[in-house]
Structure formats: C-alpha cells, structure tokens
Amino acid sequence: MGTLRIDSIMCYFQHLPMLGLLTLASWCTAADAVIVNAASTITQLTDDQLKDVFLGKRTIWEDGSKVIVVVVKSGPSATSLLTRLGKNNQQFLTGWKKLVFTGRGSMPESSATDEAAIEFVSKTTGAIALVDELKIKDGVKVVTIR
Amino acid sequence: MARLISRLPLVALLASSTAVYAADSSNLQIHGFASQGYLTTTGNNIFGRSMGGGTFELNEFALNATATPIERLRIGVQVLAYDLGKYGNDKPQIDWAFGQYQVPTGDDTYDLTLVAGRFKAGLALYNDFRDLDMTRTSVFLPAGVYSAVFRDVFIATNGFQANLGINTESLGSFELSAFVGTQNISPDDGPIADAFKTAGVRELTSINLKRSDGGFLAWNTPLDGLKAKASAMHASHMRAEGRNRYVVGQNFPFPVPAPATGLVIGSVVDLPVNVDLIDYFDGTVGAEYQVGNWTLASEYSNTYYKAEIEATIPDMTNPSTTTLLKTNSYSRMVGAYGSLNYQLADLPNPLNRFQVMGAFNWIHDQQIEDAAKSFHRGAILAVRYDVTEHFLVKVEFQLNRGTLLIDSMDNPEGESLYWNVFALKTTFDF
C-alpha cells in the first residue's frame, strides 16, 4: 500500500513529555498515507522527493501541473508530517516564509481536518497531502513512498 | 467542502492564527509583512544617528503578489520599503519582480528553471533573507559576512538566472545557479552612495553598474539537516560621478601637477570627479546543520575590490585645457562568523515559543594600516519570542570592538574602539 507509518518508539520519546497516554497511543497507531488527485500520473515518490514537495522545493510536477501542498493544521497527520520532514513547526513555517517572501513559492493550503484535506485533493489537480489512511475515500489515490 | 480549505499558513500545533488574505483557490496569492524596531548604540553612531536616545528608524514593510498564469510559469512582484537609520527612508522600491519558468526535462533526476527580471540571487546562506526579520532569531545578520555597506549590490539582481537541480541516490541533492545582470543603485542615499562619498565623490550625480554576474553551488548532503553552500559574485565597473571640493595639498588625493595647472597649495578647488569600482568580487562558503531544535551555522567570506578615482582638473593658467588625474585604491576583506540557534519546542504552550541565538563574527580589511580601523569583532546574543505564528518580538545585544564598519561621516567627533548595540524589533506577517 505504500503508506507512511510512524515508528512507535520514536513517537513515544518525542511526545511523551507533552501528551497524555491516550493521545499518544492514537498517534502511534495511526496509519498515514500520502495522497494525490486520482487523475494524477504520480504513483510513487522517493523519501527525498516527498521532502522536496512538502518543503516547497519542488513546485511543478513532471506533467507540468503546479504542485499544491495541502497541510492538515493539527492532530496526528500534522505531527506525522513534521516527523517525516525532520522539522519542528517553527522550522517548517520559516522555510515556507523564506520561499513566499523571495517569490520562490506559494504558501500551502491548510485544512482543519483530514477529511477536508482529502476532499480538496480529490477536486484539485496537482494537490498532495498526508492524511490518515483510514479516512481516504474515492477521488484520491495513495502514492507509494520508496 | 473546498471552502473548508483555508490558506492559513500553516500547520500546526499552535492554536493561534492570523488571517491570510489570499486569493482565489488556484492561483493568485498576496502576502506581506511589517517590522518595526528600536536601535541604540554606545561608543559609535551606526546608520546615521543611533547614540543617545537611539532611533526608531529601523523597519521594513513589504507586500507581494504571485501567480501561476500558465503551466510551469510563475510570476510575482514584491514592493519593499525599509528604513535603516539614514538609509532607505521608507521609500517604496521593487524588491523583486520576475518570471520563473521550469523547463521540462523528462527526468526526475534533474530540474531546470530559468528566471528573468529582478530576483534574489541566492548568495551566501542567508543573503536573500536580509530584510525578512521573521526568518531568523537575531535582528541583524552577522556583520562579518552580511555587512550593510554593500547591501544594494547583494540584495537583488536585474537580469537572468538559470538554476539546475540534481538529485542523486547516495550523495544528496545539488543546486547549481548562475546569473548575469546589473543593479539600479541610487546616488541619493544608501550605503553604496555613502561609500563613494567617502571615496571622494561628495556630490553624487549618478551611479551606474555595467554588469554583475555570479552564482552558487548548494549541496543538501545525505546527512539530514546538513547543507553546504559556496557562492560568488563579481561586479564590474560600478561608476559614480559627481563633484568634490578639495584643499590642494591637504585632502587632495592626487599628485599635484603644479605648476602646470596653476594649482596653489592650500587653495580650494571644486572638481568634477568620478570613482570607478573596476572590480568587486565577493566569495562566500558556509554550512548549516539543523538537528532537532538546534541550528549551527558558519560562513567565511572574502571580498576584494579595486577602484580608480579620476578627476578632471582645469589648467588654471589656461582654462581651455584640462588634465585628467588618476589614482587607485584597493581593498581585501575577509570575514567570518559562527552561530548557534536553539528553538524551544513550539507546541501550544506559550512558554515554549522562544528562540535563542549566539554568534561571534569578525571581519578584517588587510589593506588598512590603522589597526583600529582595519577590523571588526563582535559577539551577538539574541532572543526571539513568537506571540503567534505571524507575530514576533525579539531583542538583541552586541558587544563590538573595532571601527572597520563605522562610517566616519556619522561620527565627526571621533570613533570608539569599543561599542555596543542594543536592538528591539517586532514583526507581523500574513
């Protein structure tokens, strides 16, 4: 299926000081997936390519369409994304501001929930998001991460 | 449902957010920022008058718009106004305005983009972000590499740029960039105008740069968070024209050809004069390592320039003839800094939004014989607090020694070897 799974041990040490055990458990058992619009020609990405996309370094897909990054604002998917990128929230945000204020990038779309992100990706060519695998529905497809 | 998608950048765990006024869902985005600071110094004035009660002439305002009108083409413009003491004076200017086209390569391993217009050239690790207060902890970038004196040359280029990205399986990724162009440099105010005035063109009428070119090689190494970068820029024939009053024999920078011209020692002459900065070269190498909440950075720069000063002197005994006098000057500066930045985990707890940065930097002009005037050394301590994702406050303290970066015109009563800087700044962006 090519989903992104959080390493439970890493997750435990990273968030233990801040979170209750129930929340912790739900974070660490969540299965996340990178999704794109169902019509996209993208079927797989390398880990480095995934980072380039979500850090704004890659702005155009190979078919010429614009990369539209969608970020879930909070919750397990947001945390998974930051963990995957090796950034904290501030570093992630600063990186995007550097692009926006030098003209090299556009701010990602931001959604309140996984469902909203999935809905947006399903209707938008070039959109990509990292969401909870269990919430995926028609109109999107999962990208294999190599 | 698509309405639920907002452009509130971004992520996160911080509950607070600020409205972002952006655009239709597919294309146009509008962003901006506003910064206001306070600066005071002891020992020396910098950027004009900064001693005593200090100055609030420390701000930036910017507004930009970007769009992707057709596939692979990105266009945008940013208008910026800044005030840095006697420089800038909040006069709006085009900070960048360019079109960027991504060339289809048919291969994921390579990407090629072409840029035309006025753009940030990507010099050094942080030069593109000089005016972007929200991208760093400190108020000022370390002067050892990011001196304000040649800001206008570095800040953006009018011309063309090609960027080649190369992704490898085992060596990380590389970005190779080259540009050629020029700059619009105001003779009215700015650090370059001041540098030419110091060099002998007191009443400037024009500054023209024939060409600037350069590029960079950036390497995102296989070690997560470690990147290295080397960049270089060459400017040729930056020519300032104007006039100056000289007292012959005292501050006259040329060998006096008297009695042929009839110049009398001690007499005052008002002469057309120009300074041609024939070659200006700046090369920088540096690395940044970001691991967890820590960021370690260091850069080394080498700057060289050769200038030729010309004055046309009328023959006092025969005003219809003139004599062209020339003299040369050189400068070679080396500078470096090392910095360490720590971010507290930026989770919703308001106590966890601090960043602390410490740095040491130095710069040395090898051509200046006066010891105090030949170098600058400084220690920087800065603390930043993010009130929200889009609103921050910061404070910075510097302990400095040496007067290389001090403009004598700002300190007519003399310069102090030891001097300190205290700065406060707040920034809002959307």
Residue B93 burial class via C-beta count within 10 angstroms: exposed 0-12, middle 13-18, buried 19 and up: middle
Q: For residue B124, give the 3-state DSSP assignment.
A: coil
Residue B85 three-state SS: coil
Query: In Å, how far are A102, A104, B63, B97, B118 from B78, measured between CA atoms?
Result: 8, 12, 6, 6, 10
d(CA A128, CA A35): 6
Cβ <8 Å between A101 and B62: yes
**Are B51 and B41 a contacting pair, CB within 8 Å?**
yes
Indicate the SS3 state at residue B96. strand
pLDDT of residue B92: 95
A8: Cα within 13 Å, side-chain hemisphere: 9
B346/A90 CB distance under 8 A: yes
The Cα of B305 is separated from the nearest Cα of chain A by a number of Å equal to 28
Q: Which chain B residues are closer than 8 Å to A129 by Cβ?
A: none
- Which of A89, A119, A125 to mutate to probe the B interface, most B CBs <10 Å? A89
Q: Measured between alpha carbons, how far is B83 from A22 in angstroms, rounded to an integer?
A: 51
Task: Please check whether residue B184 is in contact with residue B207, taking contact to mean a CB–CB distance below 8 angstroms.
Answer: no
What is A4-145's CATH number, 3.40.605.10, 3.40.190.10, 3.40.50.300, 1.10.540.10? Answer: 3.40.190.10
Q: In chain B, which residue's Cα lies nearest the Cα of A51?
A: B224
Q: What is the ipTM of this complex?
A: 0.86
Contact B225 A86 (CB under 8 A): yes
Pairing of strands B29-42, B418-429: antiparallel
Backbone angles phi, psi at B182, to 5 degrees: -155, -175
Please tell me which of the candidates B7, B31, B74 has its beta carbon nearest to residue A101: B31
- Cis status, amide bond into A19, omega within 30 of 0: no
CB contact under 8 A, B6 and A110: yes
* pLDDT mean values, one per 10 residues, chain B (430 residues): 38 33 60 97 93 94 94 94 92 95 86 96 95 96 87 89 92 95 85 79 87 96 95 92 78 59 75 84 96 94 87 69 77 94 75 90 88 91 93 97 90 94 97
> Angle B397-B398-B403 (CA atoms, 0-180°, nearest 5)?
150
Assign A17 to helix, strand or coil: coil
Strand blocks (E) in A79-126: 109-111
A119 contact residues in B (CB cutoff 8 A): 1-2, 4-5
Measured between beta carbons, the chain A residues lying within 8 angstroms of B392 are none
Contact B74 A59 (CB under 8 A): yes
Sign of CA dihedral B160, B165, B166, B171: positive
CA distances to A118, B46, B239 from A123, rounded to whole Å, are 9, 55, 56
* pLDDT attached to residue A86: 87
- B 134-153 residues inside an 8 A Cβ radius of A: 134-135
Give the best residue of A23, A45, A100, A146 to mutate against chain B (max B CB count within 10 A): A100
Q: Is A61 in CB contact (< 8 Å) with chain B?
A: no
Q: Could you count the other beta carbons within 10 Å of the beta carbon of residue A4?
A: 19
Cβ of A18 within 8 Å of Cβ of B345? The answer is yes
Please indicate whether, in this complex, the C-beta atoms of A103 and B96 are within 8 angstroms of each other.
yes
Least Cα separation, residue B158 to chain A (angstroms): 14
Q: What backbone phi and psi angles, to 5 degrees, belong to B14?
A: -75, 130
For B233-279, give the DSSP string. Answer: EEEEEEEEEEEEEEETTTT--S---TTTT---TT-EEEEEEEEEEEE
Give Cα separations from B310 to B259, B304, B324, B329, B367 (angstroms).
19, 20, 7, 11, 21
**Phi, psi for residue B371 in degrees, rounded to 5:** -60, -50
Which residue of A66, A81, A108 is in closest CB contact with B9?
Answer: A108
Domain that holds residue B106: 2-429
Answer yes or no: are the C-beta atoms of A111 and A120 closer than 8 Å.
yes
Mutate to test the interface with B, among A101, A121, A135 (most CBs of B within 10 A): A101
Task: Give the integer Cα–Cα distance in Å for B208 and B337.
Answer: 31
- Helix A21-29 to helix A8-15 angle (10° resolution) is 150
Inter-chain touch B346–A89, beta carbons under 8 Å: yes
Whether B132 and chain A come into contact, CB under 8 Å, resolves to: yes
Query: Is the Cβ–Cβ distance between B60 and B37 less than 8 Å?
Result: no
DSSP B391-414: EEEEEEEEEEE-STT--GGG-TT-
Cβ contact, residue pair B74, A116, below 8 Å? no
Instruction: Say how far apart CA B420 and CA B43 lie, in whole Å.
Output: 7
* Kind plus residue range of the DSSP H or E element containing A123: helix A114-123
d(CA B380, CA B359) in angstroms, rounded, equals 5
Rounded to whole angstroms, what are the CA distances from A61 to A45, A67, A125, A128?
11, 6, 10, 11
- Best of A63, A106, A118, A125 to disrupt the B interface (most B CBs within 10 Å) is A106
Q: How far apart are CA A75 and CA B113, in angstroms?
A: 36
pLDDT score for B228: 98
Q: Min CA distance, A15 vs chain B (Å)?
A: 10
Report yes or no: B146 and B136 within 8 Å, Cβ to Cβ.
no
* Option in B2, B12, B132 nearest A123 (CB): B2
Beta strands per DSSP E along A10-77: 31-37, 44-45, 68-72
8 Å CB contact of A101 and B132: yes
First-residue to last-residue Cα distance in chain B: 24
Q: Which of residues 100-129 of B touch A (CB under 8 A)?
A: 100, 102, 104, 106, 108, 111, 119-120, 128-129
Report the CATH number at residue B166. Answer: 2.40.160.10
A59/B386 Cβ within 8 A:
no
Query: A59: which chain B residues are within 8 Å (Cβ-Cβ)?
Result: 74, 102
- DSSP, collapsed to helix, strand or coil, labels residue B172 as coil
Q: Does B86 touch chain A (CB under 8 A)?
A: no
The dihedral built from the CA positions of residue B366, B371, B376 and B379, taken in this order, carries a sign that is positive
List the beta bridge partners of residue A139.
Answer: none
Does the reported pTM lie above 0.90?
A: no
| Chain-chain contact of A111 with B4 (C-beta, under 8 angstroms) | yes
Q: Distance between CA atoms of A48 and A58, rounded to whole angstroms?
A: 11
As for how many domains chain B has, the answer is: 1
When scoring B1, B4, B11 by the number of chain A Cβ atoms within 10 A, the one with the most, hence best to mutate, is B11
d(CA A64, CA B367): 52
B343 touches chain A (CB under 8 A): yes
pLDDT along chain A (146 residues), means of 10: 35 35 39 92 89 91 87 90 88 94 93 93 93 90 90
